[in-house]
């Protein structure tokens, strides 16, 4: 351990490393109202989202509904692509990259739409006259209840408001109370930064209805309605024009119901008024306390599955924004735990079964035309959103993503036909609520026909964790369709027997040899994605005993995929040619997909590639955009370097005070700053912490693979490993595993890798592992030997000694391990 670190650890008062996670610590809190949107606090129930500002005199609750998107059902394929395809390929293979890119811009990139934006519903404003001066201000978001609370005192009366987005009742509920009867008076209004119709109904209801916006050549046609009903206790409520006024109430409960006309990507014929009214009426029939308790129970069912304790210091006594600002200078391990749990909270709150997947901003967006439309960018961002879902025990939250992939496999069939004359389905680097599949934004970014190949990994991953063959059979046609596209479009790379994707890009990066055009063929990431897609689809077909002939064809193409290559700087080549520049600090690290989230590169199985990939990451450097830094946390975890992963954690947890700053980090409300706000970084962080503490991708459950020196002791419960193993409990002291409890849900061999020798309690026998792990979920396909440039200097890979054990397990049984 470094000297400075030892001093740091000694200087900070560790106020506890309680075994149980202390409820009170799972909150974000502040002593001032939000001054900007990225200081407001997010609540959500998967469909409805809100940002609560906590302003005593001018409260703003910004509202979202996950299907309020611009546009209407549409496709964005460019039919000119098909004829141009052979010409583009020829130009690429002749090295005429600029010409190829120009031609793609003219013939492939959509002329219809670059994707539709996800849009804000608008704002609920609550004006409290006379509350401009207040004292004793406090506001918090409690992750265990999903309640945003604001408290302050005006003229001796203490006011409190609590806002939550109810999971069971499908409404947002705000309750305002005061410690003196008759002291609550306020007015409520609604607006949107676009034309809407606002009216009142009766004396206590406000209604806002509108239609979403146009974008590119697509007219906005999603109708939506937001209804606000106020139930005062004591006092009165009245309505005038577009305003509700509450006077001298003891308490007031505000119900917000929002619905749209969206049924699915092809149908927007629902009646938003009837839907909003139905949820509202249902919610009004229920007792407030009951609603609150039921809501909390649902949130806890998910959140409570994982507890983490990395230690607690005096820093927890500071407000969250102060802690973020001081994180890199002080010692605040609980803030890392909180950030980890915040990611889980956000996923639960924005990605519920039956809904839409988390967008670039989850479900929280205050704009009509947000950055990158807050849609689905699938060359990293959407996938990153779901990295934590299986490992941190939130498998249900995958459902909207899986549903979207199924739908993209439908819409993408036409794109494959129209643009490539190909079988199967294809998706480029973006999609939206309408499940567009065509390339957008310009060739440099959009000419990447690999979105489906990457998303399909999530279909397989779910199976690796749950072992459910029925589920696998249900997604198999989607996997097969994705493979079929490549079987009919792969072409031979000149001078080799290799089959490659052409045209394509290594996401958003251009090689130094032709920096203004990113286009090429057979990029490393594409080859890695195809390797995974092919091997997993073959495996799925074999498990399901189906499609023998198809499998033979896939195996033929699999054999002809290019191997990974190590270039002249000892780096893992990003492209098929040795074009990398060691000065390239581009945020995308696409070729390192093979390290994480994939498992193609391993210190134990492919040491040369492991070293080369690490060299590539060192060249790329640390500071970057939010999501990039969080990808690097996961990568350094896979490189088994916990201290470097921690360095990225300190880069990420650094306060970004302005929405558009020049570097990535964290806003005061703990939203990830790309900048601007992008939620992928939050989710990448959560996955990264899990990856530092436990990995299960490389043939074994690796406990504490990348623990940084700053967390010498701690405990985590509830992580999940591939093969249906629950890591019920994992505890460590002085940097070494001290206790491990694993539950086997599916039975089979449990192979464990550990830096410390282990023994098992009770009747199990822990054997030294021999040969391949025979647990079918730990099957790892063989990787081709890399091609290595003659001038490449490789470093030897030194991994700390590990112990590898096998334990036969029975389904449903728990096993307890101790250090030997
Ligand atoms: C990709 C990234 C950008 C941004 C955008 C939403 O295009 O390269 O950094 O995250 O997605």
Binding site membership of 677 for ligand 1 (Cβ less than 6 Å) = no
508 CA distance to ligand 1 middle (Å): 8
**Is the model's pLDDT at 608 over the cut of 50?**
yes
Number of other residues whose CB lies within 10 A of the CB of residue 471 = 14
CA of 628 to the centre of ligand 1 (A): 9
What is the distance in A from the centroid of ligand 1 to the CA of 266?
A: 27
Q: What is the pLDDT of residue 661?
A: 61
Decide: 674 in ligand 1 pocket, CB within 6 A: yes
* Residue 332, token pair as written in the block: 């605040």
pLDDT at 85 (0 to 100): 98
Spacing, Cα 626 to ligand 1 middle (Å): 10
> How do strand 748-754 and strand 758-760 relate by DSSP bridges?
unpaired
372 lines ligand 1 (CB under 6 A): yes
State the distance from the centre of ligand 1 to the C-alpha of 632, rounded, in angstroms: 15
**Closest ligand 1 atom, residue 678 Cα:** 10
Q: Say what the pLDDT of residue 819 is.
A: 85
Confidence of residue 762 (pLDDT cuts 50, 70, 90): confident
Ligand 1 atom with minimal separation from the 379 CA: 1
Q: Which residues pair with 142 in a beta bridge?
A: 27, 147
Residue reference for tokens 């890119």: 101
Q: Is the CB of 596 under 6 A from ligand 1?
A: no
Q: C-alpha distances in angstroms, 649 versus 47, 73, 390?
A: 30, 41, 21
Banded model confidence at residue 765, pLDDT cuts 50, 70, 90: confident
Q: Which of 506, 662, 674, 680 to mutate to test the pocket of ligand 1 (most atoms within 8 A of CB)?
A: 674
DSSP per-residue string spanning 114-169: S-PPB---EEEEEE-TT-SS-EEEEEEEETTTTEEEEEEEETTEEEEEEEEE-TTT
791, 794, 819: which is closest to 805 by C-alpha? 819
Number of H helices, E strands in the chain: 19, 38
Contact 93, 504 (CB under 8 A): no
Say whether pLDDT at 188 is over 60: yes
Alpha carbon distance 520, 573 (integer Å): 14
Pairwise CA distance, residues 754 & 761, whole Å? 16
| Distances, alpha carbon 147 to alpha carbons 66, 203, 343, 549, in Å | 20, 28, 16, 55
Closest protein CA for atom 10 of ligand 1: 381
Alpha helices in 394-449 (DSSP H): 399-420, 443-446
What digits encode the pLDDT tens for the residues 139-185?
A: 999 999 999 999 999 999 999 999 999 999 999 999 999 999 999 99
Nearest CA to 610 among 350, 328, 449, 798?
A: 798
State how far the Cα of 172 lies from the Cα of 242, in Å rounded to an integer.
20
Q: Where residue 458 falls among pLDDT bands split at 50, 70, 90?
A: very high
Task: Report CA torsion sign: 578, 582, 588, 589.
Answer: positive
Rounded to an integer, what distance in angstroms lies between the CA atom of residue 234 and that of residue 721?
54
How many Å lie between the centroid of ligand 1 and the Cα of residue 810? 45
Sheet (strand 205-211) strand order = 27-30, 135-142, 147-154, 157-165, 172-178, 251-260, 223-233, 205-211, 197-201
- Tokens 């190949």 label which residue? 453
Reduce the DSSP state of residue 549 to 3 states and report it: helix
Q: Is the CB of 428 under 6 A from ligand 1?
A: no
Half-sphere exposure in the Cβ direction for 61 (13 Å, CA): 29
pLDDT exceeds 70 at position 106: yes
Going by C-alpha positions, the residue among 663, 745, 71, 75 that lies closest to residue 415 is: 75
Question: 75: Cβ–Cβ under 8 A, 6 or more apart, which residues?
Answer: 112, 411, 414, 415, 434, 436, 437, 438
Going by their DSSP bridges, the two strands 787-788 and 565-566 should be labelled as parallel
Ligand 1 site, residue 360, Cβ cutoff 6 A: yes
Give the whole-angstrom CA distance, residue 791 versus residue 48: 57
- 3-class SS at 293? helix
Please tell me the distance between residue 675's alpha carbon and the centre of ligand 1 in angstroms: 10
Q: For tokens 């997604």, what's the residue?
A: 475
Report, as an integer, the average pLDDT of 59-70.
Answer: 98
Cβ(28)–Cβ(670) below 8 Å:
yes
Q: Is the pLDDT reported for residue 15 higher than 90?
A: no
State the Cα–Cα distance between residues 527 and 533, nearest whole angstrom.
10
Q: Cis peptide before 675, with omega less than 30 degrees from 0?
A: yes
Report how far residue 480's alpha carbon sits from residue 483's, in angstroms, rounded to the nearest whole number.
5
Task: Output the average pLDDT for the chain.
Answer: 96
Q: Minimal CA–CA distance to 63: which of 124, 117, 118?
A: 124
Is residue 189 in contact with ligand 1, taking CB distance under 6 Å? Answer: no
Centroid of ligand 1 to alpha carbon of 11 (angstroms): 40
- Taking the CA of residue 371 as reference, the ligand 1 atom at the shortest distance is 6
Mean pLDDT of 771-788: 96
Using alpha carbons only, how large is the chain's radius of gyration in Å?
27
The C-alpha atoms of residue 280 and residue 229 are separated, in whole angstroms, by 8
The CA-atom distances, in angstroms, between 231 and each of 250, 337, 438, 554, 709 are: 11, 39, 48, 63, 54
How far, in Å, from the CA of 692 to the mean position of ligand 1?
25
Length of the chain: 820
Q: Which two tokens stand for residue 175?
A: 């309750």
Q: Is 109 exposed, middle or buried (0-12, 13-18, 19+ CB in 10 A)?
A: buried
pLDDT tops 80 at residue 480:
yes
Sign of CA dihedral 366, 371, 377, 380: negative
Element (H, E) at 629: helix 626-638
Q: What is the pLDDT of residues 505-546, one digit of tens each?
A: 999 999 988 999 999 999 999 999 999 999 999 999 999 999
Predicted pLDDT of residue 22: 42
Q: Is the pLDDT of residue 297 over 90?
A: yes
Q: Give pLDDT, residue 360.
A: 98
- Long-range CB pairs of 208-212 (<8 Å, 24+ gap) are 208/121, 208/122, 209/272, 209/273, 210/122, 212/68, 212/69, 212/70, 212/71, 212/119
Q: What whole-number distance in Å separates Cα of residue 107 and Cα of residue 121?
A: 36
Q: Is 589 in the pocket of ligand 1 (CB under 6 A)?
A: no
- Tell me, in angstroms, the distance from the centre of ligand 1 to residue 448's CA: 14
Give the three-state DSSP class for 820: coil
Closest-lying ligand 1 atom to the alpha carbon of residue 625: 9
Q: According to the model, what pLDDT value does residue 18 have?
A: 37
Q: Which residue has the tokens 């309640």?
A: 147
pLDDT at position 526 is: 98
* pLDDT tens digits, 112-149: 999 999 999 999 999 999 999 999 999 999 999 999 99
Res. 554: pLDDT tops 50 = yes
pLDDT beyond 60 at 804:
yes
Report the separation in Å between the CA atom of 363 and the middle of ligand 1, taken as the mean of its atom positions: 18
DSSP H or E stretch at residue 265: none
Output the residue whose Cα is nearest ligand 1's atom 11.
377
Q: Residue 725: how many CB atoms within 10 A of its CB?
A: 25
Q: Are 385 and 402 in contact (CB under 8 A)?
A: no
Expressed in angstroms and rounded, the spacing between residue 372 Cα and the centre of ligand 1 is: 8
Rounded to the nearest whole angstrom, what is the distance from the C-alpha of residue 717 to the centroid of ligand 1?
A: 33
Tokens of 467: 């072992």
> What band does 763 get if pLDDT is binned at 50, 70 and 90?
confident
> Around Cβ 266, how many Cβ atoms within 10 Å?
13
Mutate to test the pocket of ligand 1, among 372, 505, 663 (most ligand atoms within 8 A of CB): 372
Q: Is 508 in the pocket of ligand 1 (CB under 6 A)?
A: yes
pLDDT in tens, 663-673: 899 999 999 99
- Pairing mode, if any, of strands 184-191 and 197-201? unpaired
Q: Whose CA is closest to atom 8 on ligand 1? A: 508
- Ligand 1 within 6 A of 678 CB? yes
Beta bridge partners of 227: 207, 257
What's the token pair of residue 260?
A: 């749209």
Question: Where does the pLDDT of residue 315 fall: very low under 50, low under 70, confident under 90, or very high at 90 and above?
Answer: very high
For the cut 70, the answer to whether the pLDDT of residue 226 exceeds it is: yes
The predicted pLDDT at position 820 comes to 82
- pLDDT band at residue 660 under the 50/70/90 scheme: low
- Residue 428 CA to ligand 1 centre (angstroms): 14
| Tokens at 133, concatenated | 């001066």
How much distance in Å is there from the Cα of 654 to the middle of ligand 1?
20
Tens of pLDDT, residue by residue over 676-696, are: 999 999 999 999 999 999 999
d(CA 470, CA 542): 14
Ligand 1 pocket check for 374: Cβ under 6 Å = no
Rounded average pLDDT over 283-291? 97
CA distance 43 to 790: 56
Q: Is residue 287 over pLDDT 50? A: yes
In this prediction, residue 69 has a pLDDT band, given cuts at 50, 70 and 90, of very high
Residue 658 pLDDT level (bands cut at 50, 70, 90): confident
Mutate to test the pocket of ligand 1, among 380, 631, 660 (most ligand atoms within 8 A of CB): 380
């Amino acid at each position: 351990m470094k000297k400075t670190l030892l001093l740091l650890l000694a200087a900070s008062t560790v106020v506890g490393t309680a075994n149980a996670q202390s409820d009170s610590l799972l909150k974000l809190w502040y002593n001032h109202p939000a001054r900007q949107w990225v200081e407001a606090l997010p609540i959500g129930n998967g469909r409805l989202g809100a940002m609560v500002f906590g302003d005593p005199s001018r409260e703003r609750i910004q509202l979202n509904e996950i299907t309020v998107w611009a546009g209407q059902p549409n496709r964005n394929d460019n039919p000119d692509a098909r004829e141009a395809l052979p010409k583009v390929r020829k130009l690429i293979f002749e090295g005429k990259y600029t010409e190829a890119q120009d031609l793609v811009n003219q013939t492939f990139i959509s002329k219809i739409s670059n994707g539709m934006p996800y849009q804000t519903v608008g704002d609920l404003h609550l004006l409290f006259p006379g509350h401009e001066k207040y004292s004793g201000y406090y506001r918090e978001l409690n992750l265990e209840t999903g309640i945003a609370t604001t408290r302050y005192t005006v003229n001796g009366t203490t006011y409190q408001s609590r806002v939550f987005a109810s999971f069971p009742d499908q409404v947002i509920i705000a309750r305002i109370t005061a410690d003196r009867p008759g002291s609550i008076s306020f007015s409520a209004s609604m607006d949107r930064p676009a034309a809407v119709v606002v009216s009142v109904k009766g004396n206590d209801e406000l209604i806002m209805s509108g239609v979403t916006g146009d974008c590119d050549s697509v007219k906005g046609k999603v109708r939506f309605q937001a209804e606000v009903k106020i139930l005062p206790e004591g006092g009165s409520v009245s309505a005038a024009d577009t305003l509700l006024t509450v006077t001298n109430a003891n308490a007031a409960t505000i119900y917000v119901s929002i619905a749209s006309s969206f049924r699915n990507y092809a149908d927007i014929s629902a009646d938003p008024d009837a839907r909003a009214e139905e949820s509202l009426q249902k919610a009004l029939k229920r007792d407030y306390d009951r609603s609150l308790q039921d809501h909390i129970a649902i949130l806890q069912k998910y959140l409570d599955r994982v507890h983490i304790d990395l230690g607690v210091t005096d820093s927890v006594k500071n407000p969250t924004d102060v802690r973020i600002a001081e994180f890199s200078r002080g010692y605040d391990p609980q803030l890392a735990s909180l950030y980890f749990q915040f990611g889980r909270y956000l996923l639960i709150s924005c990605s519920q079964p039956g809904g839409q997947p988390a967008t670039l901003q989850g479900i929280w967006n205050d704009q009509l035309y947000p950055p990158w439309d807050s849609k689905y960018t699938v060359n990293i961002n959407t996938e990153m959103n779901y990295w934590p879902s299986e490992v941190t025990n939130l498998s249900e939250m995958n459902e909207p993503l899986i549903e979207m992939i199924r739908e993209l496999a439908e819409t993408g069939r036409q794109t494959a036909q129209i643009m490539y004359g190909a079988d199967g389905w294809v998706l480029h680097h973006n999609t939206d609520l309408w499940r567009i599949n065509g390339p957008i934004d310009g060739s440099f970014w959009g000419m990447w026909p690999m979105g489906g190949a990457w998303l399909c990994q999530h279909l397989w991953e779910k199976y690796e964790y749950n072992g459910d063959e029925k589920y696998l059979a249900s997604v198999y046609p989607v996997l097969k369709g994705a493979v079929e596209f490549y079987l009919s479009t792969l072409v031979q790379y000149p001078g080799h027997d290799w089959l490659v994707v052409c045209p394509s890009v290594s996401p958003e990066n251009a090689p130094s040899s032709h920096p203004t055009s990113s286009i090429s063929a057979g990029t490393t990431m594409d080859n890695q994605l195809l390797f995974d897609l092919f091997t997993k689809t073959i495996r799925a077909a074999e498990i399901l005993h189906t499609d023998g002939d198809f499998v033979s064809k896939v195996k033929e193409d699999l054999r002809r995929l290019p191997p990974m290559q190590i270039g002249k700087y000892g780096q893992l080549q990003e492209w098929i040619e040795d074009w990398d520049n060691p000065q390239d600090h581009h945020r995308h690290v696409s070729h390192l997909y093979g390290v994480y989230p994939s498992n193609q590169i391993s210190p134990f199985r492919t040491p040369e590639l492991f070293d080369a990939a690490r060299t590539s990451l060192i060249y790329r450097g640390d500071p970057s955009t939010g999501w990039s830094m969080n990808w690097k946390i996961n990568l350094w975890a896979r490189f088994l370097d916990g201290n470097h992963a921690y360095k990225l954690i300190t880069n990420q947890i650094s306060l970004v005070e302005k929405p558009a700053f020049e570097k990535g980090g964290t806003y005061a409300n703990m939203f990830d700053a790309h900048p601007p706000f992008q939620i992928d970084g939050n989710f990448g962080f959560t996955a990264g912490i899990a990856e530092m503490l436990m990995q299960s991708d490389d043939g074994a459950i690796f406990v504490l693979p990348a623990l940084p020196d700053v967390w010498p002791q701690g405990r985590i419960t509830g992580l999940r490993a591939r093969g249906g193993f629950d890591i019920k409990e994992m505890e460590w002291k002085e940097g070494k595993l001290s206790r491990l409890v694993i539950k086997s849900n599916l039975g089979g061999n449990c192979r464990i890798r550990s830096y410390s020798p282990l023994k098992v309690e009770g009747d199990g026998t822990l054997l030294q592992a021999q040969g391949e792990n025979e647990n079918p979920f730990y099957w790892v396909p063989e990787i081709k030997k890399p091609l290595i440039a003659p001038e490449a200097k490789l470093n030897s890979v030194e991994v700390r000694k590990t112990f590898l054990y096998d334990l036969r397990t029975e389904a449903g049984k728990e096993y307890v391990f101790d250090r030997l």
